[in-house]
Amino acid sequence: MKKTWWKEAVIYQIYPRSFMDSNGDGIGDLKGITSRLDYLKYLGIDVIWLSPIYQSPNDDNGYDISDYQAIMDEFGTMADFDEMLAEAHKRNIKIVMDLVVNHTSDEHQWFIESRKSKDNAYRDYYIWREGKNKDASTPPNNWGSCFSGPAWEYDAQTNMYYLHLFSKKQPDLNWDNPNVRAEVFDMMTWWCEKGIDGFRMDVINMISKTKDLPDGEVSGLYGDYGPYAVNGPNIHNYLKEMNEKVLSKYDIMTVGETPDVTTELAKQYAGEDTHELNMVFQFEHVSMGQKYGKWTDEKPSLLELKKIMSRWQTDLYGVAWNSLFWDNHDQPRAVSRFGDDRAQYRDASAKMLATCLHMMQGTPYIYQGEELGMTNYPFESPQDFRDIESINAYKEWCTDGRVSHADFWPCITSRSRDNARTPVQWDDTAQAGFTTAAPWIAVNPNYKEINAKAETADEHSVFHYYKKLIALRKKYPVIVYGKYELLLEDSKDLFVYIRTLNGDGASAEKLLVVCSFTDQETEFTVPDAFDGAVCLISNTEHAYGKGKVRLKPYEAFVLYQN
């Protein structure tokens, strides 16, 4: 496997709206990010993935872009961006931009033109269709959008519908139009010339749709667009073209957000020699359990989690590259979901989850606040939601009477994207030091106990544990390049694996990673091959010798043998 900087890097995701407010308007901004770069340098990360900072009417918090080459007013100016980029580079931190080109905002100039008339030069930049049977009262097909409701919006001006797989303010671009591809590639080149270090590509495996757009299989209220819009017919051609025309010309990293991919498809998207993307960012391990669609309060099964994560480790080994993450801006907080956020277990289980993930193969992503062990928010009512997906879903499932509030509430609060979007907790002053005004979304009330100031000062904190994991990755190539092997496949409590570098010969290096996913004490027997091994990191005070260890709840440790 080729060695590259992005395989060895640790990435930190910033959701700018919630990271740090510099000018007291309650909204995070670019100057706020710049002011916290020293904190990130101290943590030890190499790359920042910046969620969208472009001009946007904020129907979906910046994932609806109205100008790809301008900065959102609330976040600052292009000069602020240039300053942030320069200050990051000064600290050897790279900046990866979010690239959202499956769709634009309906307020993008292209769409404003497109909807004007059937013969407008931009008409074909988007996906327009007549209503079914030319009947304007029925959408072209039965697809549902990701954010509830139909995936088609009727536009009276031309008596036709446009496709939007996300909100109706996010019309899908027509990638089959060569002009669309040329415009996107030019825009990407413009950012590369500015000196940015890569792209995280939003739902990039959804840009190619089939020519016909037939009804999908119905589940719930709408039909599924999946077979016609995800991993579509021309996707690999378009990515290869993008690679040839833009990506291959720069030393940048690319990560494709790819919902619904198999490991077979990932080998194509992110293969060593396929000339598409560097790595995928896939969701199989965070998609377990479905109750009301994605809304569920079920605890994920460890057996299933191990199966999924191990399959990705094994199938991609030597041929393709994956991202490692528990959290991002679309997911609930990991410690609440996969760990245990009760006071006595939060710290241990946050460290255990970090160990489990950061010792695997792939590029690790830390989502802002995860390094502090931030938890889900205690929502009290639907009025607390800011996220369009949560707001619409509550209406479609509950207000419209398909399920009772009592049944639905625990499910939506367990999964709401707003769990990840509450402000970063910097200190124990008002609004957790995020802002001096009223924040756009409420601060989690636990900020007095959980905050960056307290954790950077305490060498036993979750923060310092992450710092140590990052440092270990830099020191031990086995963490980046070693081969993975799952042990104790059938254990319902323990996630145990080995990593091996340089085969079985005398120069072999081995890691043993042991993670307890239970709030009970358990027992584990250290394999003989790890007799006399060194403990690289652990979330308890244990001394690990030969043979049996009695494990505390959520205990984690890593042994190294060479």
**Closest CB to ligand TEU among 139 and 259?**
259
**Site residue total, ligand TEU (CB under 6 A):** 13
Q: Where are the beta strands (DSSP E) in 306-357?
A: 323-324
Residue 187 to residues 99, 101, 194: CA-CA distances in angstroms? 10, 11, 11
d(CA 161, CA 135): 11
Q: Which does 330 bind (CB under 5 to 8 A by kind): ligand TEU, Ca ion, none?
A: ligand TEU
Q: Which does 259 bind (CB under 5 to 8 A by kind): Ca ion, ligand TEU, none?
A: ligand TEU
Residue 342 to residues 296, 346, 376, 444: CA-CA distances in angstroms? 19, 6, 11, 15
d(CA 359, CA 351): 12
Instruction: Compute the residue count for the chain.
Output: 562
Three-state SS letters, 35-97: HCHHHHHHHCCCEEEECCCEECCCCCCCCCCCEEEEECHHHCCHHHHHHHHHHHHHCCCEEEE
Q: Residue 155 interacts with Ca ion (CB under 5 A)?
A: no
Q: Residue 59 interacts with ligand TEU (CB under 6 A)?
A: no
Q: Which does 555 bind (CB under 5 to 8 A by kind): ligand TEU, Ca ion, none?
A: none
Question: Does residue 202 carry a catalytic annotation?
Answer: yes
Give me the catalytic one of 60, 80, 98, 257.
257
d(CA 103, CA 101): 5
**Closest CB to ligand TEU among 371 and 389?**
389
Is 479 within 8 Å of 499 (Cβ atoms)? yes
Residue with tokens 């652990």: 538
23-31, 100-108, 189-197, 471-479 -> range binding Ca ion (CB under 5 A): 23-31
Q: Residue 330 interacts with ligand TEU (CB under 6 A)?
A: yes
**Closest CB to ligand TEU among 166 and 326?**
166
Would the CA dihedral through 99, 102, 107, 112 be positive or negative? Answer: positive
**Closest CB to ligand TEU among 203 and 515?**
203
Q: Residue 21 interacts with Ca ion (CB under 5 A)?
A: yes
The residue within the footprint of ligand TEU, chosen from 146, 242, 316, 515 (CB under 6 A), is 146
Q: Residue 80 interacts with Ca ion (CB under 5 A)?
A: no
Interacting positions 88-127 with ligand TEU (CB under 6 A): 100
Query: Which ranges of 175-247 would DSSP assign to H, the alpha helix?
Result: 178-194, 226-229, 235-245
Give me the catalytic one of 197, 202, 370, 455.
202
Q: Residue 50 interacts with ligand TEU (CB under 6 A)?
A: no
d(CA 308, CA 285): 6
**Closest CB to Ca ion among 23 and 177?**
23
**Closest CB to Ca ion among 32 and 198?**
32
Nearest-approach distance from CB 20 to Ca ion, in angstroms: 8
Nearest-approach distance from CB 78 to Ca ion, in angstroms: 16
Kindly write out the interface string for residues 197-216 of this chain, putting x where it contacts ligand TEU by CB under 6 A and - elsewhere. -----xx-------------
Instruction: Count CB-CB contacts under 10 A for residue 156.
Output: 8
Question: Does residue 172 carry a catalytic annotation?
Answer: no
Q: Residue 27 interacts with Ca ion (CB under 5 A)?
A: yes
Is 204 within 8 Å of 257 (Cβ atoms)? yes
Interacting positions 447-506 with ligand TEU (CB under 6 A): none
Nearest-approach distance from CB 211 to Ca ion, in angstroms: 45
Residue 203 to residues 221, 229, 277, 292, 395: CA-CA distances in angstroms? 23, 11, 13, 23, 25
State the amino acid at position 372 in one-letter form.
Answer: L
Is 370 within 8 Å of 327 (Cβ atoms)? yes
Nearest-approach distance from CB 85 to Ca ion, in angstroms: 18
Q: Which does 100 bind (CB under 5 to 8 A by kind): ligand TEU, Ca ion, none?
A: ligand TEU
Nearest-approach distance from CB 127 to ligand TEU, in angstroms: 16
d(CA 111, CA 122): 7
* Consecutive H or E run containing 312: helix 302-316
The residue within the footprint of ligand TEU, chosen from 63, 143, 162, 426 (CB under 6 A), is 63
Q: Residue 294 interacts with ligand TEU (CB under 6 A)?
A: yes
Nearest-approach distance from CB 417 to ligand TEU, in angstroms: 6
The residue within the footprint of Ca ion, chosen from 19, 29, 59, 495 (CB under 5 A), is 29
d(CA 199, CA 253): 7
CA 556-559-560 angle, to 5 degrees, is 150
Nearest-approach distance from CB 146 to ligand TEU, in angstroms: 5
Enumerate binding residues for ligand TEU (CB under 6 A).
60, 63, 100, 146, 166, 202-203, 257, 259, 294, 329-330, 389
Enumerate binding residues for Ca ion (CB under 5 A).
21, 23, 25, 27, 29
Which residues are identified as catalytic? 202, 257
